Amino acid sequence: MLWALPLEGQVLSDYLSQARSGNPRAQYNAAQCYLYGWGTSADSTQWHHFLRLAAEGGEHRAAEQLALHYEHQGIGVLASYWRGEPSTLPYDYTYLSYDEGCYYGEVRRGTRDGYGIYVWDNGTSHTGRWEDGESYGMGYTSFAGARLYCYNVSGANGPGAIILTDSAAHFAGVEGSCRYVGYLENGLPSGTGVLYSREGKLLYAGPFNGGRTTSTDSGAEDYIHYRWTTEQLSSGDTWEGESYGGVRSGFGIYRWADGSWWCGFWNEGVREGAGLYVRADGAIMTGRWDHGELTTEE
């Protein structure tokens, strides 16, 4: 039967025409072919694309597979959405579908505006505040095994950016580095920035261009008291970020044991400046902190 779950021996060509015509069952089957490489090369982007279309078309198997995927990715609000669970969010969130992905969050006049999360079919996602369809203020992006936190950016450009990469990552000219704090252009380190090793040692402080260091002088001696530190608190909370002389100063991420987390700037051990707070249920809030207290919303 053509619309049964694809098995080995069945191929993508059996489903692709109907899938492109909008048949949810065919879209689900095409997604499985891209997932397992049946009659085509395995392709996670095409898998997510057709699975999303099938779920939007009412295919319950696709909705559950998407929910499991988002749950694994830590995107609980979308997992709950696809399971039809009642929302506990304090905002009026709306689901929007696009050719390249989907958005779940606040909307004004049919476009992204407010707090929400955008997930591209290629696996990239962005959580934070939006204005007129563009990311703005404090934000959190996950892509290609890396986590990117940005302040006052659109399209991964601007100041206050930090990249936490996987264990194998490094930047050109500084082997073993895996944490970057500084300016970005088109998602790559450009301008002034600082690199830390996985162990938290300061490796480089200076100029970048297109993701590459541009000076043979590491500049680390000017920042000799800075480290990237990680703390496990007795409460079950964790913290990681920059410290100066053992005191939280610079950029950091605090995670509570209940699953909520906050990322932003610190000064002499207290939150100071811009920050993004994400509740365990996915509710989002951005704002500015003064001596550890929230003062004004961004």
Cβ–Cβ < 8 Å for 115, 124: no
What pLDDT, on a 0 to 100 scale, did the predictor assign at position 108?
Answer: 93
What pLDDT, on a 0 to 100 scale, did the predictor assign at position 102?
Answer: 97
What pLDDT, on a 0 to 100 scale, did the predictor assign at position 161?
Answer: 65
Give Cα 112 to chain centroid, integer Å. 17
| H or E element, residue 47 | helix 44-56
Question: How many CB atoms sit inside 10 A of residue 251's CB?
Answer: 23
d(CA 228, CA 250): 10
The values of phi and psi at residue 10, to 5°, are -90, 145
d(CA 128, CA 136): 8
| H or E element, residue 67 | helix 60-73
The pTM (predicted TM-score) of the whole model is 0.81
Domain spans in the chain, listed from the N-terminal domain onward: 12-83, 133-296
In the 8-state DSSP scheme, what is residue 233? -
What pLDDT, on a 0 to 100 scale, did the predictor assign at position 3?
Answer: 45
Tens place of pLDDT per residue across the chain (298 aa): 344 555 556 789 989 999 999 999 999 999 999 999 998 999 999 999 999 999 999 999 999 999 999 999 888 899 999 999 988 888 889 999 999 999 999 999 999 998 999 999 998 888 888 888 887 777 888 876 677 777 654 444 555 567 777 655 677 778 777 888 888 776 678 888 888 988 899 888 888 888 888 887 777 777 788 999 999 999 999 999 999 988 999 888 999 999 998 888 899 999 888 888 888 888 888 778 888 887 765 5
